[in-house]
C-alpha cells in the first residue's frame, strides 16, 4: 500500500473545509495510507517586510524538510509548478508504485509559498491552476485529486 504524506503549513479553520478533508481521508482509507502533518506557520507582522517573509519561509522550510521521510518522492505545490491533468497525476503515481517507491509526499506551504530549499528537495513542482484559490482550499483540492487519481487507477466511474 502506498504511503502518502501531506505536509501543510497551517491548520484548517473553517468547519466545512475540515469536513471535506475528513470525507476524503475516509474515502482514501482503503486505498492508501494517508498521513497529514500540520506545521505551525511563522508569526509575521501585519505588513511584513520582504526580509521577514524570507526568514519565515526559511524557518517553515526547515520544519518541512525535517518531516520528509527518507526515500519519498516529493511533490511541492507551487505557483511556478507544472500543471497535470487528473489522469497524468494518476499515471505518475502508478509509475511510482510499479518502480517500488511506496512513499509520496505532497507539500503545501504557507500563504507566502515555499522557500527555495524545499523546492530544490522536490522531485516535482506541481501547480493546481493558473487561477488563485484561498490557501486553505488547497488541501481539500489536493486530497480530492489524490482520491481521483486512485479511482482512475482502480478503473472506477468516479472520474468522468
* Domains of the chain: residue spans and CATH: 3-154 (3.40.1280.10)
Please tell me the pTM assigned to this model.
Answer: 0.94
Whether residue 1 has pLDDT greater than 70 = no
Reduce the DSSP state of residue 68 to 3 states and report it.
coil
What is the rounded CA–CA span in Å between residue 47 and residue 114? Answer: 19
Whether residue 148 has pLDDT greater than 70 = yes
Residues 6+ apart with CB under 8 A from 41: 9, 10, 56, 60, 110, 111
pLDDT tens-digit map of 38-83 = 999 999 999 999 999 999 999 999 999 999 999 999 999 999 999 9
End-to-end CA distance of the chain: 25
Whether residue 160 has pLDDT greater than 70 = no
Quick one: 140 exposed, middle or buried, by C-beta within 10 A (0-12, 13-18, 19+)?
Answer: buried
- What local confidence, expressed as pLDDT, does residue 98 receive? 87
Q: Region 24-51: what's the mean pLDDT?
A: 95
Amino acid at each position: 500500500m502506498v504511503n502518502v504524506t501531506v505536509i501543510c503549513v497551517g491548520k484548517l479553520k473553517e468547519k466545512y473545509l475540515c469536513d471535506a478533508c475528513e470525507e476524503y481521508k475516509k474515502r482514501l482509507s482503503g486505498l492508501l495510507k494517508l498521513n497529514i502533518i500540520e506545521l505551525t506557520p511563522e508569526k509575521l507582522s501585519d505588513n511584513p517586510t520582504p526580509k521577514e517573509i524570507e526568514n519565515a519561509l526559511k524557518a517553515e522550510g526547515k520544519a518541512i524538510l525535517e518531516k520528509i521521510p527518507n526515500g519519498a518522492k516529493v511533490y511541492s505545490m507551487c505557483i511556478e509548478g507544472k500543471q497535470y491533468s487528473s489522469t497524468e497525476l494518476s499515471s505518475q503515481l502508478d509509475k511510482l508504485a510499479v518502480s517500488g517507491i511506496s512513499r509520496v509526499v505532497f507539500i503545501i506551504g504557507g500563504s507566502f509559498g515555499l522557500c527555495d530549499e524545499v523546492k530544490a528537495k522536490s522531485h516535482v513542482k506541481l501547480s493546481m491552476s493558473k487561477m488563485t484559490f484561498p490557501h486553505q482550499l488547497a488541501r481539500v483540492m489536493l486530497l480530492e485529486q489524490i482520491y481521483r487519481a486512485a479511482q482512475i487507477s482502480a478503473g472506477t466511474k468516479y472520474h468522468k
